[in-house]
Amino acid sequence: MTAPFLEVLAATIPDLHLSTDGVDLEAHRRDETAYLEPPLPLAVAYPASTAEVAAIARVATAHRVPLVPRGAGTGLAGGANAVAGGLVVSLVRMNRVLEIDQENRVVVVQPGVVNADLKMAVAAHGLHFAPDPASYETCTIGGNLATNAGGLCCVKYGVTGDAVLGLEVVLADGAVVRTGGRNVKDVAGYDLASLFVGSMGTLGIITEATLRLIAPPAPKQTLLAFFPTIEASGAAVAGMVRCGVQPCTLELMDAFSIRAVNAACSLGLDESAAAMLLVESDLPGAAGVEELDRAERACEAAGVGLLVRAQDAAEADMLREGRRKAHWALEAMGASRMEDVVVPRSRVPDLLRAIHEIGRRHGLEIGVFGHAGDGNLHPSFIFDRDDLTGPARLQLAEEDLYRATLALGGSVTGEHGIGVIKRSWLEATRGPEAVRVMRAVKAALDPLGILNPGKLL
Ligand SMILES: Cc1cc2nc3c(=O)[nH]c(=O)nc-3n(C[C@H](O)[C@H](O)[C@H](O)COP(=O)(O)OP(=O)(O)OC[C@H]3O[C@@H](n4cnc5c(N)ncnc54)[C@H](O)[C@@H]3O)c2cc1C
């Protein structure tokens, strides 16, 4: 059954780059979920055009072979993990910036463009692409769209989906759908682009995107604020929101993360603090100074300990470094798993308390950092690499984390997605009726279940 599929594929698309090489298969087995053991894919296809993607989908549908779309494989939810007997469709060769339309502040790209390359390309035309996942130097726009990726600047500029004006998508049967375009406003019919954004490759393969650009922001001005209690840091965030401060970055690290970062990078962050906020403004000159002044006043009203303001760009970069390195610093502390949960911003202190209590209950070290301005935290549960009971305790801790998050009115994922790892929590998060609607959408667009089966739903 499978050999004819690959033969037909090669015969139908003679120029298609197709690999069954063992090293390639292993490299496309999983994303960044190193702890999962998905099967090897049947093969990896590297299409170079929408027409090739559409032809792959037609042949796969005829042979009932599952397709797994893939960007850079930096996902943290198993979304790009291979499925048994499935073909991985890597979009990395479709990596061209097709057009930069300065007049309309719009860029048209193929899905395999790396986020950082897109930023660089539009910067050369005096424009800026805002979405900025921490993985921006490697992840692709297709992956960003399919996960609706967030990042450090979401608090001001929104998530990837907020930058989308239009998409071209190949459906499971090979049909090519175009939705949206260059119009700033367009309400003709259902908003199909929003349906595909965040669908993790389960509804269609994104082959082109028309994205919104903005004027480049001014260089960031940077403030670090160290708090004696978690509550005080939460009160400072609430104070900033209340008085209308709109930083472009509002990030949090707890005491354990601060210690981990110091241990990894010797940054000399204040280890007596229970929490640290990184606050940045990208307003120009005096307006940025004034915004950070107001942020400082909110911190002072909340009982901040130490305040450190960067004097120049180099110092700002150094202060930012701690937050940037938090994930790697925590990974160095033992076996760890970065989690991704979100609550209404006002509930961040409650979530932090719950997280630390869960860590204690299961005997796990825990470091928390994340996007305080969005209510989106990344707790990392850590245990000794030699501790054989660690993984089981970790699983129980994660289940408690999801329950606590939902009880606070939150969601089990703020930006990494459901993927394979949180499928069993989708219904608890969205409710049975919403999941029924999602299944109906999936059945309408992909009745044979060709696209990324076992993911999300
Ligand atoms: C160090 C690190 C930091 C990170 N920081 C952030 C962060 O700040 N914010 C954040 O949101 N995420 C973050 N991530 C997670 C990850 O980088 C994002 O989810 C990213 O958007 C994935 O892009 P990718 O190209 O690697 O996609 P992949 O991992 O290859 O795929 C992700 C999902 O998208 C689907 N997909 C990929 N391309 C297409 C396409 N063209 N059409 C349809 N479906 C497609 C895949 O099937 C899969 O379900 C981080 C990851 C790491 C390792």
Task: Quick: pLDDT tens for 299-351.
Answer: 999 999 999 999 888 888 888 888 888 988 998 999 888 999 999 998 999 99
Alpha helices (runs of H) in 197-312, residue ranges in sequence order: 230-242, 255-265, 285-301
Nearest atom (ligand 1) to Cα of 112: 41
- Calculate how far, in angstroms, residue 166's C-alpha sits from the geometric centre of ligand 1: 19
> What is the distance between the alpha carbons of residues 66 and 138, in angstroms, rounded to a whole number?
26
pLDDT at 219: 92
- Calculate how far, in angstroms, residue 256's C-alpha sits from the geometric centre of ligand 1: 27
pLDDT at 181: 92
Task: Quick: pLDDT tens for 337-375.
Answer: 899 999 999 899 999 999 999 999 999 999 999 999 999
pLDDT at 430: 97
Are 182 and 106 within 8 A, CB to CB? yes
pLDDT per residue, tens digit, the chain (457 aa), is 445 999 999 999 999 999 999 999 999 999 999 999 999 999 999 999 999 999 999 999 999 999 999 999 999 999 999 999 999 999 999 999 999 999 999 999 999 999 999 999 999 999 999 999 989 999 999 999 999 999 999 999 999 999 999 999 999 999 999 999 999 899 999 999 999 999 999 999 999 999 999 999 999 999 999 999 988 998 999 899 899 999 999 999 999 999 999 999 888 999 999 999 999 999 999 999 999 999 999 999 999 999 999 988 888 888 888 888 898 899 899 988 899 999 999 899 999 999 999 999 999 999 999 999 999 999 999 999 999 999 999 999 999 999 999 999 999 999 999 999 999 999 999 999 999 999 999 999 999 999 999 999 9
- Calculate how far, in angstroms, residue 61's C-alpha sits from the geometric centre of ligand 1: 25
> What is the distance between the alpha carbons of residues 152 and 136, in angstroms, rounded to a whole number?
11
pLDDT at 1: 45
- Calculate how far, in angstroms, residue 299's C-alpha sits from the geometric centre of ligand 1: 34
Pocket-testing residue among 44, 90, 94, 135, ligand 1, by greatest number of atoms within 8 A of Cβ: 135
Q: Which residues line ligand 1 (CB under 6 A)?
A: 31-32, 68-76, 79-80, 91, 111, 133-135, 139-140, 142-144, 146-147, 149-151, 200-201, 205-206, 327, 415-416, 452, 455
The phi, psi pair for 415, rounded to 5°, reads: -155, -20
Write the DSSP symbol of residue 398.
Answer: H
Instruction: Collapse the DSSP code of 303 into the 3-class scheme (helix H, G, I; strand E, B; otherwise coil) and give the result.
Output: coil
- Calculate how far, in angstroms, residue 31's C-alpha sits from the geometric centre of ligand 1: 9
Of 202, 194, 188, give the one whose Cα is nearest residue 167. 194
Nearest atom (ligand 1) to Cα of 204: 43
pLDDT at 3: 55
Are 77 and 418 within 8 A, CB to CB? yes
Nearest atom (ligand 1) to Cα of 149: 11
- Calculate how far, in angstroms, residue 91's C-alpha sits from the geometric centre of ligand 1: 12
